[in-house]
């Protein structure tokens, strides 16, 4: 038996009393202490609410402190970029150079009118239109000439805002790109300051033009990929990693969506990403699942997302522009019918299926050199052509580029004489034999073994006139539906693309595109082509259609002018409209072959050309697209220097002589791949293009050269200058060089902003090259 000591009993009883006292205090709402301070114990339900209250009280007594790392270099560069780009942005309050074109497109967006621009996809136009929308622009301005004064309803500052912001933000982005390439803050500041003072970039970003937007997304794509690549080493698949990877794909898509030139930078990023992915696949420290995850992530972000966004740009574009406009004639009948007004108003309620007895107009799907319709009139081919060849002297058949009553034809069943539609209608199907009767003259479409007037290797097409000579009618045609889904498809209005194959000779009705002489009223020649090849010039579609009800000719002529009553919906799908619009944009050629300020790629590098953007109507103030000759020449020399140094190092490394440490070599190679590769991809393709080129096409390539320039200078200072004295002398030369670039930028400032009227002597002094077109007024 163990007996408890008296002292232990006292201690136990003391502990019990203390415990009871605490319980009593809790229940009575006693005061507790926290950190030496008395706090109320609460409402009798426990100490915990009191403690929380006490902590909250202490929190409120102390100041709320937020710490953040702010790069003052970025703040200063951004501020300078905004200042130089936004200062007097609404001056001049007049149409400047290509604003005359982009302004028209903005007005179309404001009025929801469809247009087609072959210069590029619609995203850039939509960004400019967004500026107009935010400024309250109603689209009412006549964009008819350069230099026209803007009316009071045109928000000039708002329309030029987004390009200016893009140009301003490109300055700090250049700084960040050089830092992400692991070069010094000094080199990064040099690249940013060169972007800041370069006159051509400054001029282009202050106007309602697309190049600054394109350059912004080019640089954003490069910066995002570099940040993604650098985060790959320490935090793959983190939120930051995904953010920069996705932003890379989005930026590439935006660049391509502004101008097709953006695809060059997209290919650059894809190529570098492919090399890095290939190296990643060879990393034995990663599991197969990990490698597959990396590859799939890059495929989604850099391939699938850009394609999706590119389609989204067109979807929004077509959703906004739902009204008929001046460019409708370029598009197919089906596309036109999907727009509100125009052809849609004319064709509303047309029967869908073409039947025997239908009255139709036949439009050439090819649409070149002009959209036109199969046409005939009472005039006949001359007996003898100018070259001495003879003709059939039959009724002329042409393709006429305007809507006309003589464009109407009647689809006739060869076994019946009637020219009306049965009840119920008997539709025409693929492979059926038909005759085409000209609505106004009732003569049948015919072809025979007689040479066409302008295409002697093809057959003449005519409407047959019986001269009681040994030339029988050959007027049977087989319907060949090109886009059929089955062998017995019906011939549909607007939707079906049809070839007409002559039964007797197997010739196909074709638009040759040649303009007939005056006896043919300069209309387009239509021939019978025996070639077995397929071409869009052989394809036709029914545009206007009605069911014929009158057998008598006079009643039928009146009937051709009456609207139909049957309502058939034929809305095109988005993908069908997108495919057609994209094809037209890629294949449409501008007929203008010369321009006063057009230039060649060789003239860009040496800055042998400029563009006079605007001239004040009363003074000598003017705006020119003119580069800083010090920066342009230095950038070209830096590109040559990098190329020579790269191959020199490469040859020496082949001989196991490593002039650079591995880290410095990898940074040097990546910088060259991005900057030199970006310059080459954005410049060299222009030598292969058969189109008008201007100096501003070189600006995206120039930005990559500007990024490379301070990198080469730092490399020379760090690795080629052996002694401290050499480094000091080289640094002094760099300072002198940069001062000269600033001096040139300041000298060209009146031509950049156009806010200073210079005398003829001062203007001549700025004409440093004979090829520069500086405008001098003769007072």
Q: With 50 as the cut, is the pLDDT of residue 24 above it?
A: no
User: Is the pTM above the cut of 0.75?
Assistant: yes
pLDDT score for 43: 47
Q: Do the Cβ atoms of 130 and 321 come closer than 8 Å?
A: no
Q: Label residue 566 by pLDDT band (50, 70, 90).
A: very low
Question: Per-residue confidence at 593, pLDDT binned at 50, 70, 90?
Answer: low
CB-based contact 425:351 (threshold 8 Å): yes
484: pLDDT strictly greater than 80: yes
Looking at residues 525-547, what average pLDDT do you find? 87
pLDDT at 45 over 70: no
Does 60 have pLDDT greater than 60?
yes
**Of 71-75, 309-313, 559-563, the least confident:** 559-563
Query: Which of 10-24, 358-372, 586-600 is the most confident on average?
Result: 358-372
Residue 5 has pLDDT above 60, yes or no: no
126-141 pLDDT per residue, tens: 999 999 999 999 999 9
Confidence of residue 779 (pLDDT cuts 50, 70, 90): low
pLDDT tens readout for residues 749-773:
999 999 998 889 999 999 999 899 9
What is the arithmetic mean of pLDDT over 380-387?
89
% of the chain residues with pLDDT over 70: 87
Q: What is the mean pLDDT of the chain?
A: 87
Angle between helices 239-258 and 305-320 (to 10 degrees): 50
Share of the chain above pLDDT 90, in %: 65
Q: Is 239 exposed, middle or buried (0-12, 13-18, 19+ CB in 10 A)?
A: exposed
d(CA 34, CA 43): 17
pLDDT band of residue 556 (cuts 50, 70, 90) is low
What Cα–Cα distance (Å) separates residue 434 from each residue in 135, 498, 653, 675?
58, 13, 77, 64
Q: Which of left, alpha, beta for 740 (phi over 0: left; psi -120 to 50: alpha)?
A: alpha
**Peptide bond between residue 25 and the one before it cis (omega within 30 degrees of 0):** no
Is the per-residue pLDDT at 39 higher than 50? yes
Could you report the per-residue pLDDT of 213-227, keeping only the tens digit for each? 999 999 999 999 999
**Ranges of H-type helices in 112-238:** 123-134, 156-159, 161-180, 185-197, 199-205, 211-231
Does residue 35 register a pLDDT over 80?
Answer: no
Tell me the average pLDDT across 384-408. Answer: 90
Q: How many CB atoms lie within 10 A of CB 776?
A: 15
Q: Which of 13-22, 204-213, 413-422 has the lowest mean pLDDT?
A: 13-22
Q: Cα dihedral sign for 34, 39, 42, 44?
A: positive
Average pLDDT rounded to a whole number, residues 710-714? 97
Q: How many CB atoms lie within 10 A of CB 590?
A: 9
């Amino acid at each position: 038996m163990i007996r408890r000591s008296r002292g232990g009993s006292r201690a136990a009883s003391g502990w019990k009393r203390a415990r009871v006292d605490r319980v009593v205090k809790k229940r009575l709402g006693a005061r507790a202490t926290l950190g030496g301070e008395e706090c109320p114990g609460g409402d009798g339900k426990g100490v915990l609410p009191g403690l929380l209250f006490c902590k909250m009280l202490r929190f409120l007594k102390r100041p709320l402190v937020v710490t953040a790392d702010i790069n003052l270099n970025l703040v200063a560069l951004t501020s300078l970029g905004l200042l130089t780009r936004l200062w007097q942005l609404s001056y001049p309050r007049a149409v400047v150079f290509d604003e005359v074109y982009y302004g028209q497109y903005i007005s179309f967006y404001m009025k929801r009118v469809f247009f087609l621009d072959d210069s590029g996809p619609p995203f850039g136009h939509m960004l400019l239109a967004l500026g107009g929308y935010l400024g309250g622009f109603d689209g009412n301005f006549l964009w008819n000439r350069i230099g026209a004064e803007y009316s009071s309803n045109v928000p000039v500052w708002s329309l030029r805002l987004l390009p200016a912001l893009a140009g301003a933000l490109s300055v700090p982005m250049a700084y960040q790109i050089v830092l992400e390439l692991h070069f010094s803050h000094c080199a990064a500041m040099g690249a940013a300051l060169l972007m800041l003072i370069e006159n051509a970039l400054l001029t282009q970003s202050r106007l309602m033009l697309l190049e600054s937007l394109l350059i912004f997304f080019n640089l954003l794509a490069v910066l995002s990929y570099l940040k993604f690549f650098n985060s790959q080493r320490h935090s793959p698949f983190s939120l930051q990693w995904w953010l920069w990877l996705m932003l890379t794909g989005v930026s590439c898509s935006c660049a391509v969506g502004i101008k097709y030139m953006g695809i060059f930078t997209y290919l650059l990023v894809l190529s570098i990403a492919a090399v890095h992915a290939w190296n990643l696949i060879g990393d034995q420290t990663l599991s197969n699942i990990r490698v597959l995850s990396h590859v799939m992530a890059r495929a989604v972000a850099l391939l699938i997302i850009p394609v999706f966004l590119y389609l989204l740009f067109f979807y929004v574009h077509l959703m906004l522009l739902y009204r008929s406009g001046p460019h409708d004639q370029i598009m197919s009948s089906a596309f036109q019918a999907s727009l509100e007004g125009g052809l849609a108003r004319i064709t509303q309620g047309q029967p869908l299926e073409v039947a025997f007895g239908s009255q139709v107009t036949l439009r050439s799907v090819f649409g070149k050199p002009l959209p036109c319709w199969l046409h005939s009139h009472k005039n006949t081919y001359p007996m003898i052509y100018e070259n001495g060849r003879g003709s059939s002297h039959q009724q002329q058949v042409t393709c006429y580029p305007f809507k006309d009553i003589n464009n109407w034809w009647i689809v006739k069943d060869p076994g019946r004489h009637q020219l009306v539609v049965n009840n119920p209608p008997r539709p025409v199907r693929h492979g059926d034999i038909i005759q085409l009767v000209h609505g106004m003259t009732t003569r049948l479409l015919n072809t025979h073994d007689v040479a066409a007037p302008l295409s002697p290797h093809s057959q003449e097409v005519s409407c047959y006139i019986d001269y009681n000579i040994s030339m029988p009618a050959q007027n049977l045609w087989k319907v060949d539906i090109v886009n059929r889904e089955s062998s017995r498809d019906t011939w549909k209005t607007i939707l079906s693309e049809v070839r007409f194959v002559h039964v007797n000779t197997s010739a196909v009705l074709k638009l040759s595109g040649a303009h007939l002489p005056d006896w043919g009223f300069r209309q387009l020649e239509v021939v019978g082509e025996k070639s077995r090849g397929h071409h869009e010039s052989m394809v036709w579609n029914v545009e206007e259609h009605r069911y014929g009800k009158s057998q008598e000719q006079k009643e039928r002529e009146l009937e051709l002018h009456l609207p139909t009553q049957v309502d058939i919906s034929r809305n095109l799908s988005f993908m069908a409209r997108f495919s057609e619009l994209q094809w037209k944009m890629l294949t449409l050629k501008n007929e203008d072959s010369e321009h006063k300020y057009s230039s060649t790629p060789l003239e860009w590098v040496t800055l042998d050309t400029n563009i006079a953007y605007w001239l004040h109507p009363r003074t000598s103030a003017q705006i020119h697209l003119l580069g800083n000759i010090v920066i342009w020449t230095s950038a070209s020399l830096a590109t040559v220097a990098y190329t020579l140094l790269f191959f020199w190092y490469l040859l020496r490394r082949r001989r196991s002589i490593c002039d650079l440490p591995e880290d410095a070599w990898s940074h040097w190679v990546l910088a060259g791949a991005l900057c030199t590769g970006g310059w080459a991809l954005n410049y060299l393709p222009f030598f292969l293009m058969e189109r008008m080129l201007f100096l501003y096409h070189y600006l995206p390539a120039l930005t990559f050269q500007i990024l490379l320039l301070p990198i080469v200078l730092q490399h020379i200072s760090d690795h080629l200058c052996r002694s401290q004295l050499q480094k000091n002398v080289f640094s002094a030369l760099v300072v002198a060089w940069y001062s000269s670039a600033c001096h040139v930028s300041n000298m060209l400032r009146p031509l950049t902003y156009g806010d200073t009227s210079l005398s003829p002597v001062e203007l001549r002094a700025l004409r440093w090259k004979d090829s520069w077109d500086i405008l001098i007024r003769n007072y």
